[in-house]
Structures are given as structure tokens and as C-alpha cells.
A and B are shown apart, each in its own frame.
Chain A
Amino acid sequence: MTTAVQPAGGGAMARPSSGTLADVIDTILDKGLVIDAFVRVSLVGIEVLTIDARIVVASVDTYLRFAEAVNRLDMSHDKMGLPELVGDMEQGGAKRKAKGALEGAVESAGETLKDLLGDRREPERVSRRGRRPEEE
């Protein structure tokens, strides 16, 4: 899930070179100009197959997962210490399993695609130059 994340040295801030598919979905399906508001006559309805990456809606599953997480949480050594860190790592597996299947799928797809596509910052798609290209 965080393979693209490069620790920024010292701090806890990660500055991934590109967002995961979940990040992209959160942005381009939900933000930006809505063309329907502008174009009415020549708008072409096209089927858009997308997944709602949001699993925030509180559900029974979420509640049960939280309960299991506190059940497993090792609080024997109070404060933040090694036991809690170990607890966190142990939970990694269970957490991933219990997490919304959709998000799991999205995130793993994101990784694979990222590997295939490489760094998105490489290409310079549009630039401002003096010269004008032929217009289509």
C-alpha cells in the first residue's frame, strides 16, 4: 500500500511521486469542473464505471473491526513503546483482511499500475512555448 512512499528523511512526511489509485479516485471523480453544468445540448452520456473508494460510512463491519483491534491491542506496557509498535505490526495482517474489499482491490491495482506506468512526473505534456503547433 505504501510502496510508492519515499520517507522524506528525518520527519514522518511521505512525499510519493504519484498518488495511489484511491487518491486519484478521491480527486478526479469528485472534484473539478462538472461539464454538465456548462454543456447541455451536445453532452454525450457515456457510461462511467467507477468504484467509490470511500469506506468511511460507519457500519457494523467497521465497529466490529475496531472492537477486534482493541481486543488485540497490547496495552500491558503502558505508554507508547515497543509493545504497541509490535501490536500495530501484528494487526497489519488482520487489518488488511478486514478492510473493505473494495479499497484493498483499489490499492493493489494502484500498485500494479504504478509499476507498469512508472513515474507520472516524467512526461511533460503541455508546456508554454513561443511556437504554436498546428491545430487540429
Chain B
Amino acid sequence: MSAATESVEAEGTTRTGVYVYAVVPSDVEVDREARGVGDPPAPVRLVRHDRVAALVSEIDVERPLGRPDELLAHERLLDATAAEVPVLPIRFGAVVADKAAVVDEFLAPYHDEFDAALRELDGKAEYVVRVRYVEAAVLGEIIRENPEVARLREAIRGTPEDVTRNERLRIGEIINQAIEAKRQADTRTLTEALTPLTAGVNVREPSHELDAANVAVLVETAREAEFVKAVEKAARDWDGRATLRLLGPVAPYDFVTALKPEA
């Protein structure tokens, strides 16, 4: 790594690297207007090797990455790409020394794996289904189902927080556990309903304490309408108790992680 850094340094006054967004088939073209991360946002280019290619842009390696508009730029580029062609998205922040390294160390050694994975993903898209409990509804459920919560609730009623801190911590802990159990059950219900319509399911970690489900699925484009209908039905079943958001199609972030070089 240090050798590579030195060679970049030697190239000029600004130390630049190559930011890598994704692997795509080589028979694609990039809109010349496409912009990626960086300030100002750098033009996105293609580095090809045989049947695969990498979406890249030049980047100043001195400046830290991760401004909100950079995160969004990475995601929008990949999702817009996924809408057109199969794509293997790369996690945010991948920078290599130069374009030669993209070919020599990335595309060439793993050409066949990437090519096979792209073929496998052709005609499929990822969707993310995020369900979040309506707080008042789920708390009402828990109070009705759990006598201890109902009792503790009476105990803290109208008291200041510092006076009933222990009771409050206990009630909060029970509620948290109850939500975890509900989340598990509701996530199972959702995945069971969607699995027959999908080519892959990945249950994600919850990203919010009121999450009821956070699930990524891979769907064949030909079955999209059928899939969306099933999600709409799930949303109707949850109405009032939880809200559901369907994101996608997005790049198949959740379905490329199994691709790893031989150790």
C-alpha cells in the first residue's frame, strides 16, 4: 500500500487516486454528464477489461470522503446504473492508485467471477422493504399484552423522571424486548409472504428502534408487478400498526457480498 501511495505522490502536485463505484459489463456506455464523488463532482468514466468494466472517477486522495452529497452521488449513480444494466456495487470509499491498478489488481484477476455474477444478476433488481411501527399503536399493544408494563405505567404516571427512574428504566427495557420479539415475528411474516416472489432475501439489521422489518429482496424484473402487489397487500395488513416504505429498484448491494476472492 505504501509503495502505491508513493507512486501516486510522484505523479504530480495533487495526489490523486481512482475511486471505484461498481463493476458492470463492458458493453455499456457512460453518459458524459455523469458525475460522482469529489468537489467538484468528478466525471464518471469506464475502465474496461475483456467482458467486464469498472465505473470510476478521479479523486483527490488528500481530502476526506463522506459528505452527504457524496454519499448520495455514489448511491444515485449505482441505482441509476442498476436500472439499465446488471451491476456489482462496491461499498462506499473504494480508492485505488490508478486505472492500471483497477485492471491489474481488480478486473483481470477476478474477471470470470465478476462476469458470472453479472450474468446471474441480469434481469433482476433489488428492493428494500422498510416497515416501522406506529409508536402509539405498538405501545398500546404492549400495554395490553403485558400486565407488568400496565402496572409500571400506573406507577410512573405523573411523576418526574428522576423520582421514578428505576421504574422507567424497567418499563423501557421490557418495551424494548417486546418490540424485538414483535420485530422478529413481523419480519418472518413479511419474508414468508415475499419469498415465493423473489430470487433472494436478506434480512437487514434494524436501523431504528421502532423498525418492524428491514428486508432487502432480489426480484426478477418480469415479476416486479406481482412483487409490488404483494408488498402493497402487506402494507394494507399493517395499516394503522406500522408504516411501510418500498425502496427500489436499487443496485443489488445485498446480493454481492458472497463474492469474495479465494483466501
Residues of A participating in the B interface, judged by any CB pair closer than 8 Å: 5, 8, 10-16, 18-19, 21-35, 37-50, 53-56, 58, 60, 62-71, 73, 75, 78, 80, 84-85, 87-88, 91, 95, 103, 109-110, 113, 117, 120-121, 123-129, 131-133, 135-136
Contacts and interface: CB of A to CB of B under 8 A. Distances in A.
A95 B257 CA distance: 35
B167 to A, nearest CB: 8
A69 B134 CA distance: 12
Contact of A128 (B85, B93, B153, B246): B85
Categorize the interface residue count of chain B.
Answer: 35 or more
A87 to B, nearest CB: 5
B236 A12 contact: yes
A56 B135 contact: no
A44 B99 CA distance: 12
A41 B105 contact: yes
A131 B137 CA distance: 56
B29 interface: yes
Given A56-B211, A67-B156, A110-B68, A13 B135 contact: no
Give the top 9 A-B pairs by smallest Cβ distance, nearest first.
A63-B172, A42-B101, A13-B235, A31-B253, A67-B168, A88-B136, A35-B94, A49-B66, A47-B64
Given A8-B232, A11-B235, A12-B243, A25 B136 contact: no
B209 interface: yes
Interface of B: 1, 3-5, 8, 17, 20, 23-25, 27-34, 44-48, 55, 59, 61, 64-69, 71-72, 74-81, 83-85, 88-99, 101, 104-106, 109-110, 128, 130, 134-137, 139-140, 142-144, 149, 153, 156-157, 161, 165, 167-169, 171-173, 175-176, 204-209, 211, 214, 216, 231-236, 238-240, 243-247, 250-251, 253-254, 256-257, 259-261
- Among A91, A95, A125, chain B packs the most CB atoms within 10 A around the CB of A125
